[in-house]
Homo-oligomer: A and B are copies of this chain.
Amino acid sequence: MLQVWLLVDLDSDTSVPVFQVCEWHSPEQLKKLLDLELRDRGEPESEILQRCRDAIRYSVKTSHPRFFNQLYAGMEPYSMVASFIAEAVKTNLYTYEVAPVFTLMEDAVLRKMIKVIGWEEGGDGIFNPGGSLSNIYAVNLARYRYCPDFKEVGMFSAPRLVILTSQEVSCHYSISKGAALMGIGTKNVYTVPTDERCTGAVPFMVNATAGTTVLGAFDPIDEIADICEKHNLWLHVDACWGGAAIMSKKHKHLLKGIHRVDSVAWNPHKMLMASLQCSAFLVRDKTSLLQRCHSARASYLFQQDKFYDVSYDTGDKSVQCSRKPDAFKFWLMWKALGSRELEQRVDRALAMARYLAEEIKKREGFRLVLEPEFANVCFWYLPPSLRNLPESPELWKKLHTVAPVVKQRMMKTGSMMTGYQPLGEKANFFRMVVISPQVSRQDLDFVLDEIHNLGKDL
């Protein structure tokens, strides 16, 4: 008999981390530790339990208060409970008959998000496995609205269509991936202001970003909406990361004008900490555009002679067939916390990011890349050996090599994890992202101390 007990204890003191964030092993070392081979004979349960312990031990502790490596972090216990239940209930969201509870919960969450966005006449939406797919849906809907025939005949006789995005350097790469997948082509993703190449091509949508991945920058939605309304262009906002700001009276100005856009991608698994994955795609249209664009009317799922209202069978709004009940993970935590607690978490995370930015300004050897607009704090660390060099290509070339070495050392000590990257012409810099309420000021002080400790000899 295999009994599995999982205990989630909310009261444990997380301010003093006991475990490392990670226990680094190279792929070759880790392969030896894990014995990955799958054999003809199975293993006894005692060994399988050891496999489970090893899988946990050698995985990165993304819920650790010193994990800042991605746009998710920390542990939201209500959402995790929901994810366990969803796993155990084991169903897909194609029809009401196999997923009655989750179908209604998805509908309730989407309606609430639409209300928060400010689409007063309502809208439509769906949860997707990740924000990239939501952005791809936006491109598909915009194209379908521009010319529904493409669904049937393809784009072989279409004029060259282009997607306009602001700031090539910070628009999420999923727009390019989507353009490639959808037969539009990566070269037809243009930055604004549009350059000469656009001659002869037809823009059909604009992608704006609310909270870019690296810098956390927000495009001016209201101004872009003016232009899109004038030229009848579909306006999509990739708010996967920055959408959470709308929960906060203090910070919702970052998304000013979002009530005017055609579609929004918003991932509650990022700033709001829902379990992975939890990604909403929201569309203002009320004429079943989402359904018409994606439907294939499979006769074995979407029978029209059912005994209940088949408008509750939402599966044909998706390009997926199997689709997980991700909305439940957000519904349960929202129910438990209320909008107010979500607001407070956003406010607290942004206040902590502000604290970190001010600390960086105070400390010798640290330099902000720019004033943070959101929860992203981007900065360089200059070891003492570089502090007295004049501003020159030479300095930046040397500085570019610092972050990778510090990152390597932090992975090997396992004391913390944060990301680094170059951006356009900018040399490698660190990106800190504050999300979880389990992160304290001490943790942020530690981050700066630790980066100095790890890099001061460089």
Contacts and interface: CB of A to CB of B under 8 A. Distances in A.
Contacts of A188: 153-154
Nearest to A400: B305
A404 B308 CA distance: 11
Contacts of A9: 1, 3
A97 B80 contact: no
Interface string A265-276: 001010000011
A98 B71 CA distance: 12
Interface string A5-44: 1111111000000000010011100110010111111110
A176 B332 contact: no
Nearest to A130: B322
Interface in A62-109: 62-63, 69-70, 72, 75, 77-78, 80-85, 87-92, 96-105, 107-109
Given A2-B8, A322-B132, A298 B173 contact: yes
A335 B185 contact: no
Contacts of A88: 6, 56, 80
Contacts of A401: 305
- List the number of copies, as a whole number: 2
- Looking at A25, A38, A172, the one whose CB has the most chain B CB atoms below 10 A away is A38
Interface in A374-414: 401, 404-405, 407-408, 411
A305 to B, nearest CB: 5
B85 A55 contact: yes
Interface in A125-171: 129-133, 136, 140, 150-156, 158-161
B56 A89 contact: yes
30 contacts: A1-B10, A1-B11, A2-B8, A3-B9, A5-B7, A26-B309, A27-B312, A34-B101, A38-B108, A38-B335, A38-B339, A41-B340, A43-B336, A55-B89, A55-B328, A56-B88, A75-B90, A129-B324, A130-B320, A132-B320, A152-B185, A154-B160, A155-B185, A156-B160, A181-B181, A181-B294, A300-B419, A300-B423, A300-B431, A301-B421
A174 interface: yes
A276 B214 CA distance: 32
A98 to B, nearest CB: 5
Contacts of A75: 90
Contacts of A78: 2, 48
A13 to B, nearest CB: 12
For chain A, which range describes its interface: under 10, 10 to 19, 20 to 34, or 35 or more residues?
A: 35 or more
A303 to B, nearest CB: 6
B275 A87 contact: yes
Given A40-B339, A109-B38, A185 B154 contact: yes
B108 A91 contact: no
A331 interface: yes
Given A152-B185, A185-B154, A31 B87 contact: no
A296 B408 contact: no
- Looking at A54, A59, A105, the one whose CB has the most chain B CB atoms below 10 A away is A59
Contacts of A6: 4-6, 84, 88
A322 B51 contact: no
A279 interface: yes
A321 B130 contact: yes
A207 interface: no
B38 A334 contact: yes
A420 B341 contact: no
A42 B338 contact: yes
A287 interface: no
B62 A98 contact: yes
A182 interface: yes
A187 interface: yes
A209 interface: no
A275 to B, nearest CB: 6
Nearest to A70: B98
A423 B303 CA distance: 11
